[in-house]
Amino acid sequence: MKVLIADQFEQSGRDGLAAAGCDVVFDPNLSGDTLGAALRETGAEALIVRSTKVTADMLDGGHLALIVRAGAGYNTIDVAAASARGIYVSNCPGKNAVAVAELTLGLILALDRRIADNVSTLREGRWDKKTFSKGAGLKGRTLGLLGFGSIAQAVARRAQAFGMDIVIWTRSFEDGAPVDFAAYGLDPNGRESKVTAVRTPGEVADAADILSIHVALGSGTRGLVDAAMIARLRDGAMLINTSRAEVVEHEALATAVRERRIRVGLDVYPDEPAVAQGEYSHELLGLPGVYGTHHIGASTEQAQEAIAAETVRIVRAFKETGRVPNVVNLARQSPATHMLVVRHRDRPGVLAHIFEQLHDAGINVQETENIVFEGAEAAIARINLDHAPSPELVLAITQGNEHVLSTQLVAL
């Protein structure tokens, strides 16, 4: 299998792909038209990227069957275009959770103790213990988490070690049912730290001394932290975003920084450069009380090695079994309306007969499986269809081949 790597990728991962029998082409400088040309010229069946954008135009004219995002998100990939072309899209969820959680706590600590300002002042040759000895401390303060995936869970466990109370919103908690926080490695009623779930994002903002964002980007989360939610934060609160820039309304956030002393820690930004080094500016980054890092949440050696190993596992599984772990673009629910169940003798031509009859009737097969009974004399085919075949068609399928034993039509 030819694998094209169009981003930085660990040597251990490249070695692992080679050991799996892949022909690896490594060119981390590919992007845009050059990436599309490379896909066509190499005939790559698998593409591995991190931050490199993958657009619809790149996917035409090649042999691509799999795209692996060597990271957790996949918003830089045109998933709809890949789906329309039957190309799997996979990612590596959870492998960078600890790294992002560590940065999140680092930003919280840095803001509370104004670490960057301390360093800057000392580098300028000034001693100002009076100004910088006013940190509030974290023990007993409330950390609000928007989202509760693997990263937020890692943040919560570490926050409990600091003695922080934790308030959580995620869609799966909106029904108000009791949550077994112990299953997430948390002590819900600890002596120094309590954990609670609420039903709305606004309730998290109301309660939080520190609001940390850990949601995936989607239609329901774009602009989630808008002016109204930011207004619910108490004056002097912190807001941390290590997830996706598009979740936050940055103009409203800048206003809150200026007028209400909101302190901000960011690792993601609007319109980030597509290159590793370049020029970038944003009004927030020039404001006092705002600390920024260069979208490095997942960029620890530990995280990158784990992601490389997971990427190798995905490609190897696809190469050896045809199945793709962590695939993100298969239909969650089949669009089929009916299932045709056909018991038949396991003989050549039976399935061809069934599919030919369906084709001639203009009925599309959405999904199918053919299970062989012990002894390989008989099998049962379950065929999901986009609409119901007529009784006459079912009869033609049943009687049109001597090896068909019975048929059953089931509405889905």
Query: How far is CA 363 from its chain centroid?
Result: 35
Residues whose CB is less than 8 angstroms from the CB of residue 174 and which lie 6 or more positions away in sequence, other chains included = 199, 200
On the CB side of 319, CA atoms within 13 Å amount to 20
Which of the 8 DSSP states describes residue 327?
Answer: B
What token pair was written down for 297?
């949440």
Q: Residue 250: in which H helix or E strand, if any?
A: helix 250-260
Q: Which amino acid is at 85?
A: R
345 catalytic residue (yes or no): no
Q: Which phi and psi (to 5°) does residue 237 adopt? A: -70, 165
171 in Cβ contact with 146 (< 8 Å): no
295 catalytic residue (yes or no): yes
Which of these is catalytic: 295, 313, 338, 347? 295
Distance CA 375, CA 136 (A): 73
Which of the 8 DSSP states describes residue 245?
Answer: G
Which of these is catalytic: 203, 246, 272, 305? 272
Q: Which amino acid is at 197?
A: A
117 in Cβ contact with 129 (< 8 Å): no
Among candidate residues 6, 79, 82, 86, the one with its CA nearest the CA of residue 41: 6
294 catalytic residue (yes or no): no
Cβ of 331: how many Cβ atoms within 10 Å? 10
Q: First CA to last CA across the chain, in angstroms? A: 38
Which of these is catalytic: 141, 244, 263, 316? 244
Burial 86-102 (b: 16+ CB within 10 A, else e): ebbbbbbbbbbbbbbbb
Cβ of 278: how many Cβ atoms within 10 Å? 8
Burial 225-259 (b: 16+ CB within 10 A, else e): beeebbebbeeebbbbbbbbbbbbbbebbbebbee
Q: Residue 319: in which H helix or E strand, if any?
A: helix 301-321
- The residues assigned a catalytic role are 244, 272, 295
